[in-house]
């Protein structure tokens, strides 16, 4: 690309890169105090001593064991306190403490859990996050539950099982099946990282199904096979069709960040099964451009993103990823976006330095008409401004019970 819409920021190295102190003081401390991404569900009092230790010991690389291990004692202490609360009948307090522990584990396993390294400390932290989260969320009303779905459409190097989370609102029943929002997670945000979305969705009388995307977390899909997500969603749809409380004719996708790529793909490959799809912070073509990838590690993502991104698409070498991935995976070059699609809403910030806004705009030149809302001056995902737009759009295509009280 001769000129990126990001402008001068494209060649700018953001000041927090490589410094945990600057990251905390200029970005994450405020997010932590406000309880927003990536600290949603968390508590500032849990993180302040952790980042004090990281800064004092000059631990700047989140990919190291030293980084992750710094979080684990506080997470373990929170779990211990939660168990003690359960034993003394303080269920609400236990729910709160388990939730807080899960968030500490979340930040500890940033920026990526490599599912080819089952014995890594990041994998251990993720497994403990899931356990703590379900100890909390399984006690909510309505609860979040884990379901192990058989990958009935698996092929090649795909795994055999698809772990998903489900949350079914109290108004659902065999005689009253409800619409479904299928959330496709991202590069660093996985199944246990979507509490607020499940609150909002079930409050509208809809069910939530959360699944991880190829190459991340617990996804069984072969990350190196461009068609593996199609098989993955076929199996998830087959499972949903067996559930009498889910209305399989009223399904909308919501792909988050790296999951937005898969929402765009599924909006075309599974168009007849969907009422619509939201691609939120999505890439489809230019995000895999070699020039873009040469600078993306300098932008707003808290750490280097290309090592995890390469792994996520089945590459061990970042240089090969930059040279080959666009031709292999681009939804434009492979012709996916020239097929008919279901309704597709594109959301992002115009100043996105992770997935260029060009990728959203490009889609308006291919296939079926699209819908979009892009936010001046906002970075990747355009939080918080983009969220009300998403919920309003969903309300326009799914029958809802206005703020149903669960």
Residues 254 and 164 grouped into a single domain: yes
Comparing C-alpha atoms, which of 264, 262, 235, 267 is closest to residue 251? 267
Residues 135 and 172 grouped into a single domain: no
Residues 199 and 133 grouped into a single domain: no
Residues 204 and 157 grouped into a single domain: yes
pLDDT at 189: 96
Alpha-carbon gap, residue 380 to 193, rounded angstroms: 17
pLDDT digit string (tens) for 287-319? 999 999 999 999 999 999 999 999 999 999 999
Comparing C-alpha atoms, which of 177, 182, 298, 160 is closest to residue 237? 182
Q: According to DSSP H, which parts of 43-167 are helical?
A: 44-56, 65-87, 91-108, 121-137
Task: Decide if 257 is catalytic.
Answer: yes
Overall pTM surpassing 0.85 (yes/no): yes
Sign of the torsion formed by the C-alpha atoms of 64, 110, 229 and 330: negative
pLDDT at 405: 45
Q: Which two tokens stand for residue 346?
A: 């594109």
Which of 136, 195, 228, 257 is catalytic? The answer is 257
Comparing C-alpha atoms, which of 246, 119, 113 is closest to residue 192? 113
Here the CATH number for the domain that contains residue 363 is 3.40.50.1820
Residues 369 and 226 grouped into a single domain: yes
Helix (H, G, I), strand (E, B) or coil at 254: strand
pLDDT at 116: 86
Beta strand ranges found along 118-234 (DSSP E):
144-150, 161-167, 178-184, 207-211
Residue where one domain finishes, among candidates 86, 120, 139: 139
pLDDT at 115: 84
Query: What angle, rounded to 10 degrees, do the helices at 44-56 and 65-87 form?
Result: 150
**Mean local confidence (pLDDT), 381-396:** 97
**Mean local confidence (pLDDT), 112-132:** 94
Residues 69 and 201 grouped into a single domain: no
Q: How does the average pLDDT of the chain come out, rounded?
A: 96
Note down the domain range covering 104.
Answer: 1-139
Which of 188, 289, 352, 359 is catalytic? The answer is 352
Task: Decide if 228 is catalytic.
Answer: no
pLDDT at 11: 94
Residues 241 and 372 grouped into a single domain: yes
**Mean local confidence (pLDDT), 364-383:** 97
Under the banding of pLDDT at 50, 70 and 90, the label for residue 402 is low
For the chain, percent of residues with pLDDT exceeding 70: 98
Residue where one domain finishes, among candidates 123, 139, 155: 139
Residues 66 and 12 grouped into a single domain: yes
φ/ψ (deg, to 5) at 358: -55, -35
pLDDT digit string (tens) for 65-115? 999 999 999 999 999 999 999 999 999 999 999 999 999 999 999 999 988
Task: Indicate if the pLDDT at residue 119 is higher than 60.
Answer: yes
- Regarding beta strands 343-349 and 246-256, do their DSSP bridges make them parallel or antiparallel, or are they unpaired? unpaired
Task: Indicate if the pLDDT at residue 2 is higher than 70.
Answer: no
Domains of the chain: total: 2
pLDDT at 403: 54
pLDDT digit string (tens) for 318-371? 999 999 999 999 999 999 999 999 999 999 999 999 999 999 999 999 999 999
pLDDT at 22: 97
Which of 280, 285, 366, 380 is catalytic? The answer is 380
pLDDT digit string (tens) for 21-35? 999 999 999 999 999
Task: Indicate if the pLDDT at residue 50 is higher than 50.
Answer: yes
Phi-psi region of 318 (alpha: psi -120 to 50; beta: other; left: phi over 0): alpha
Residues 67 and 101 grouped into a single domain: yes
Task: Decide if 380 is catalytic.
Answer: yes
For the chain, percent of residues with pLDDT exceeding 90: 96
Residues 125 and 190 grouped into a single domain: no
Residues 19 and 123 grouped into a single domain: yes
Residue where one domain finishes, among candidates 118, 139, 160: 139
Task: Indicate if the pLDDT at residue 404 is higher than 60.
Answer: no
**Mean local confidence (pLDDT), 272-299:** 98
pLDDT at 105: 98
Under the banding of pLDDT at 50, 70 and 90, the label for residue 406 is very low
pLDDT at 400: 78
Residues 351 and 249 grouped into a single domain: yes
């Amino acid at each position: 690309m001769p000129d990126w819409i990001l402008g001068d920021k494209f060649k700018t190295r953001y000041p927090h890169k490589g410094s945990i102190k600057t990251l905390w003081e200029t970005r994450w401390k405020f997010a932590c105090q406000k309880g927003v991404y990536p600290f949603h569900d968390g508590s500032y009092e849990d993180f302040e001593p952790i980042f004090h230790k990281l800064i004092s010991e000059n631990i700047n690389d989140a990919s190291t064991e030293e980084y992750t291990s710094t979080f684990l004692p506080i997470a373990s202490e929170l779990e211990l306190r939660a168990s003690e609360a359960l034993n003394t009948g303080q269920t609400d307090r236990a729910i709160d403490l388990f939730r807080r522990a899960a968030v500490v584990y979340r930040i500890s396993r940033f920026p990526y859990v490599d599912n080819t390294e089952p014995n890594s400390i990041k994998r251990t932290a993720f497994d403990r996050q899931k356990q703590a989260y379900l100890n909390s969320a399984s006690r909510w009303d309505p609860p979040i539950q884990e379901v192990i779905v058989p990958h009935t459409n698996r092929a090649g190097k795909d795994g055999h099982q698809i772990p998903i989370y489900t949350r079914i609102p109290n108004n659902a029943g065999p005689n009253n099946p409800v619409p479904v929002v299928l959330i496709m997670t991202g590069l660093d945000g996985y199944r246990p990282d979507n509490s607020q979305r499940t609150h909002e969705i079930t409050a509208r009388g809809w069910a939530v199904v959360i699944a991880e995307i190829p190459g991340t977390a617990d996804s069984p899909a072969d990350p190196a096979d461009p068609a593996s997500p199609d098989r993955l969603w076929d199996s998830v749809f087959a499972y949903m069709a067996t559930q009498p409380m889910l209305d399989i004719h009223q399904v909308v996708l919501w792909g988050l960040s790296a999951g937005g790529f898969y929402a765009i793909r599924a909006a075309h490959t599974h168009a007849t099964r969907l009422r619509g799809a939201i691609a939120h912070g999505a890439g489809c073509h230019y995000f895999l451009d070699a020039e873009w990838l040469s600078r993306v590690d300098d932008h707003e993502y808290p750490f280097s993103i290309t090592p995890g991104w390469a792994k996520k698409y089945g590459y061990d070498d970042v240089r090969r990823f930059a040279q080959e991935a666009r031709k292999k995976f681009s939804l434009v070059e492979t012709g996916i976006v020239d097929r008919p699609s279901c309704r597709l809403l594109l959301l992002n910030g115009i100043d996105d330095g992770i997935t260029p806004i060009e990728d959203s705009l490009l889609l308006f030149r291919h296939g079926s008409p699209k819908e979009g809302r892009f936010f001046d001056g906002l970075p990747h995902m355009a939080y918080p401004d983009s969220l009300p737009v998403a919920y309003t759009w969903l309300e326009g295509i799914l029958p809802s019970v206005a703020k149903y009280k669960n």
